[in-house]
Amino acid sequence: MQPPELSVVLDTSGSMQLSVDATLEDEQWFFENQKNPTADPVRMAKITHGPLRMEVAKHSLTQMVNDLHPAIDMRIVTFDGCRAPVDHGEFNLAQRPALIQGIQGLVADDGTALSASLETAASTMNGRDRDGVIVMFVDGADGCGRNVCEVAQRIAQEQPRLKVNLINISNNSLADCIADSTGGQVYSANNASQLAVALEQASQDVSANANCN
């Protein structure tokens, strides 16, 4: 048997620049008022105060790469606003330092192409006669006019051995249907220590099956 395939989808939308403690209401207020000079400065400071979602994501993903089973290769997909997602390719054990360097250089900006990024990751994986896991690191719903729940349902039908684990870094559950449809888990993670645990749990079923080749 081949080891399971693993892909990570990392949300690099503009809201990842906000604090891990920012609520959905904070997020909406921020984007309505970010260029308003008379906006509440105390609230603005609270919403943009570290640790930021992107900082926490980078730290925890780096830890995940370091802890990954040597036999598992990892693909990473990120957003490019509402344009086509960026498939950074697959990284083997020897390429992990380059993967970590790439993760550290990512910048959060623009829209949330959740549906398109899920499709991109799934399209590179088998999911029919080989197990696969996608770990999606997101902080909200699709912001590019598509229904991510329908995309997840279609993937579940076409690739029944592909599981999507969702790591929700914000305080909303707008994308939980991705995990629900594919038999994956939702991990809530709104601080750095919880997030490290969530990432470890989200990827452990890949590592657990890596010795079966």
Task: Determine if the peptide bond prior to 85 is cis (ω within 30°).
Answer: no
pLDDT at 136 over 70: yes
Domain-located, residue 30: no
What token pair was written down for 36?
């308003």
- pLDDT score at 15: 92
CATH code for position 127 = 3.40.50.410
Domain-located, residue 96: yes
Enclosing domain of residue 152? 5-21+50-212
Of residues 141 and 154, the one with the higher pLDDT is 154
What's the domain count of the chain? 1
Using a pLDDT cut of 70, give the percent of the chain over it: 87
What token pair was written down for 133?
């896991």
Q: Residue holding tokens 């943009």?
A: 48
Question: How many CB atoms within 10 Å of residue 142?
Answer: 23
What token pair was written down for 116?
């398109």
Using a pLDDT cut of 90, give the percent of the chain over it: 61
DSSP-derived secondary structure for 57-74: HHHHHHHHHHHS-TT--E
Task: Determine if the peptide bond prior to 51 is cis (ω within 30°).
Answer: yes
Summarize pLDDT for 168-213 with one digit per residue, the tens.
877 677 788 999 999 998 887 655 566 666 667 666 667 666 665 5
- pLDDT score at 121: 97
First-to-last alpha carbon distance for the chain, in angstroms, is 5
